[in-house]
Amino acid sequence: MGILDILGIAAVFAIVLYIGWSATKKTQSADDFLMANRSLGKIQAGFSMAATDMGGNAVVGAVAYAYAVGIGGAWYNWGAVIPMFLLGVVLAKKLRTLPISSIPELLGKRYHTSARLISVIAQLLAIGATLGIQFTISASVISTISGINYELALIASVVVVVLYTVGGGLLAVVNTDVFQFIVIVLSVVLVIPFALHAAGGYTELMGQIPEGYMDLGSQGFLAPLSLGLLYMFDYATNQHILQRIFAAKDSSTAKFAYKFSGVTYLVFGLLVAFIGVLAYGIFPDLDNADMAYAALIKDVLPGGIAGIALGGIFAATMSTADSKIMASSQLFVNDIIEPYVLKGKKLEDQQVLKISRIVTIAICVFGIGISLISDSIVQLMYVGGLFYGTAVFVPMIFALFWKRGTAAGALCAILASIGVGLFSEYYLSSHAQGILAMPSNLMAALTGLIVFVAVSLLTPPPAKEKLEVLKENARES
């Protein structure tokens, strides 16, 4: 790397740390730290949600996917568009007005405390697994381009995120996300003209790629469907996304966050997929597709521009990692410590800050461990989703819209969905044919749906207080 590249990366780090430090001065209470005082405006909520989801997997992972399959790899990110719009219309206002701060809390109030405990443990495991994705991407790119040791690059990536997250809480995360969103988009836009020039222009590029490589429908129906379901389950249940909904100042802001992210992905998904095509045209024989974006930065981009592109990767990984870290802190306080350890008592503000910092370090250590043993970005993301989002989605939706759903139905559905999903992923997908070979998250979701409805109808209806509890202390829209 040249001096301009180093300065560019250093500038991204410095600005992020400054924004985080500025937010620290405004964080005075536990509500400030965990929920940004429920005061997020549209720019904060929209840019932050988009940046949070545009993690390293949405850039590096999506480029790798398109490198392997062609322009049809756009569905890696396009799969997010319909879920974003649908949830913005159907779910955002409903969740924003409920007296809850997380989905496990919703399940505990509507069904049973055991549903809350199982779901929060599953979500924390999923956060740890998917946090490893961001650490893996950041460390791999740093190591590949700079030549420094992978483990050292991994630690450096984690330290920067931890520094501003533990100080300013959600406000620091959101405000840095706004800056990181701009850096991510700018870096992607800048890469394309230089890569296209290196490929010899569009006409030359078309002559270097395989037949059918520019077919948007090359992935058929099931692969985009599976990705769409994965995102639907993720966006509807995971705390690192929903924190923006719960922290939004009103329902209009919550809806805007989802819709803005959906619109962004329409353009972003195609741009990133085209970068994957460009990478194949320039480097057709890479051993590891996950390194396609890094190869472009290292060997194609000029000094200074490479630094911006690398800064974009750091911004992408940091914007997702900090949100997952923040989510884990809130989940641990809100859904484990207070309801189970303190039996419903509230922690003092300083206790919240202390515990949150401990959780931050613990979840980062877990994520580092995952990063050291993982060899596939896409696989980590998919299996992480099976641990939580797929299993919880059905009970969560029915908690909001079906009065007949029972605690037994919810618990059985969650456990059955996790079990069937993992069995499908690690056995049926490689040994079965026909309907049994369907995507594992679809298999898990259908299992959860059938089990939830069947068990709910076979057990006594829920008590009236379980149906009324979500109406108590509801917030204004």
Phi/psi at 71 (5° precision): -60, -20
What angle is formed at CA 371 by the lines to CA 383 and CA 2, rounded to 5 degrees?
130
Predicted confidence (pLDDT) per residue in 221-256, tens digit: 888 888 888 889 888 998 888 988 888 888 899 899
pLDDT at 378: 47
How would you write 339-389 as a 3-class SS string? HHHCCCCCCCHHHHHHHHHHHHHHHHHHHHHHHHHCCCHHHHHHHHHHHCH
Q: Could you tell me how many residues make up the chain?
A: 477
Low-confidence ranges of the chain (pLDDT < 70): 1, 373-387, 470-477
Distance, CA of 40 to CA of 175 (rounded, Å): 10
pLDDT at 308: 83
Distance, CA of 244 to CA of 449 (rounded, Å): 27
Q: Are 268 and 182 in contact (CB under 8 A)?
A: no
Distance, CA of 89 to CA of 251 (rounded, Å): 11
pLDDT at 405: 95
Distance, CA of 477 to CA of 472 (rounded, Å): 14
Distance, CA of 267 to CA of 257 (rounded, Å): 16
Distance, CA of 101 to CA of 160 (rounded, Å): 27
Distances (CA, A) of 222 to 249, 277, 435: 38, 22, 12
- Is residue 356 packed enough to be buried (19+ CB in 10 Å), middle (13-18) or exposed (0-12)? buried
Domains in the chain: ranges and CATH: 3-393 (1.20.1730.10)
Distance, CA of 317 to CA of 176 (rounded, Å): 12
Distances (CA, A) of 243 to 96, 271, 295, 331, 356: 10, 28, 35, 10, 15
* Those residues with Cβ within 8 angstroms of residue 158's Cβ, 6 or more apart along the chain or in another chain: 135, 321, 364, 367, 368
Residue for token pair 């985080």: 20
Using the 8-state DSSP alphabet, how is residue 432 labeled? -
* Those residues with Cβ within 8 angstroms of residue 287's Cβ, 6 or more apart along the chain or in another chain: none
377-387 vs 62-69: helix crossing angle, rounded to 10:
120
Q: Are 74 and 216 in contact (CB under 8 A)?
A: yes
Phi/psi at 228 (5° precision): -60, -40
Say how many Å lie between the first and final Cα of the chain, rounded. Answer: 51
Q: What does the DSSP assignment read for 78-141?
A: HTTHHHHHHHHHHTHHHHHHSS-SSHHHHHHHHT-HHHHHHHHHHHHHHHHHHHHHHHHHHHHH
pLDDT at 374: 60
Distance, CA of 212 to CA of 119 (rounded, Å): 43
Which two tokens mark 315?
A: 């911004």
Using the 8-state DSSP alphabet, how is residue 302 labeled? P
pLDDT at 446: 93
Predicted confidence (pLDDT) per residue in 366-416, tens digit: 877 777 766 555 455 556 556 678 889 999 999 999 999 999 999 999 999
Which two tokens mark 227?
A: 């990705």
List b or e across 143-160, with b for residues whose CB sees 16 or more CB atoms inside 10 angstroms.
bbbbeeeeeebbeebbeb
